[in-house]
Amino acid sequence: MRLRCAVLDDYQRVATEVADWSPVSESVDVVSYDTHFPDEDALAAALADADIVVTLRERVPFPGSLLARLPRLKLIVASGMRNSVIDYAAAETHGVTVCGTASSSTPPVELTWALLLGLARGIVQEGNGLREGGPWQQTVGADLHDRRLGLLGLGRIGGRVARVGLAFGMRVSAWSQNLTRERAEEVGVELAPSKEELLRTADFVSVHLALGERTRGLLGPAELALLKPTAYLVNTSRAAVVDQEALLAALHEGRIAGAGVDVFDTEPLPAAHPMRTAPRLLATPHLGYVSRANYATYYGQAVEAIAAYLAGSPVRRLPVPAPPGPGPA
């Protein structure tokens, strides 16, 4: 009996192009979906006859209630080695193995700088004006050299963002609950004495924190009020780290110069969502990890995980036990 593998959120329809699926083609039929299922009922109906699911990042939750409705499901392969929207206990209860893949930090680092530079130099506004016959030069660009870049989080991604900032000649400082002076010195940046001081002094603030109880809503109305009116905020991490209503208010009231956002409270973003029309906002549809090389890794290792599971030796099983002790965020 052939197995059915469902690939979710294959918006660009590239899942079967960027990787070689031939190692499992004799026993597995692959069906990809290029649209997002809006709720659990729709997802349960689509996956009713799926034995295997390949899901990207944390775009699709797999709570216990959904897993209970998918009796045929035996394997989930999620891109990356961390996924907070899969109920691992329920997966074990229902006999579902969960595996991950490698994931490069390069694409989100590059997108962070695309947003930051786009904001600083008014790229979209100026580009659209040129194409549409608008005014010749509308904005005065914000300088990066000798300006302060404040990073919330200095882990794998934040550290690489910091090094690019240093290459631009920026003064870079960082803060997180777990950040140590040793880690800051290793990257070559200043350790901000507090979150509040980082926000008060930065010309550009970029968020690179994992979402958890301590980081959810970390930037609320009081924190955003500390930003300079000339400051820019970039978030390519998780939407819930920043209070969305407070951010919208700051943008509409002109209390910050602008924001670059790649992550949202609801994805895909509904057509009438206020983030689609907010002023001073440069927004992208969660492209942080979307690059050809990363997709080749995701789907190539998904094929590898499926083949290993069928051979009785699953690889890269999730969840991975957390290392002991605190580390840099």
147 is catalytic: no
How far, in Å, CA of 178 to CA of 253, rounded?
A: 33
Judge residue 280's burial from the number of C-beta atoms within 10 Å of its C-beta, 0-12 exposed, 13-18 middle, 19 or more buried. middle
286 is catalytic: yes
Q: In this structure, what token pair is assigned to residue 156?
A: 């794998």
- Catalytic site residue from 148, 183, 208, 238: 238
Closest CA to 101 of 18, 198, 223, 207: 18
Asked if residues 168 and 144 have their Cβ atoms less than 8 Å apart, the reply is yes
- Max Cα-Cα span within the chain: 65
Percent of the chain as helix, strand, coil, to the nearest 5: 35, 15, 50
How far, in Å, CA of 325 to CA of 149, rounded?
A: 28
238 is catalytic: yes
- DSSP characters for 31-66? EE--S---SHHHHHHHTTT-SEEEE-TTSS-B-HHH
Q: In this structure, what token pair is assigned to residue 232?
A: 């820019």
C-alpha distance across the termini of the chain, in Å: 46
- Catalytic site residue from 267, 273, 316, 317: 267
Residues recognised as catalytic:
238, 267, 286
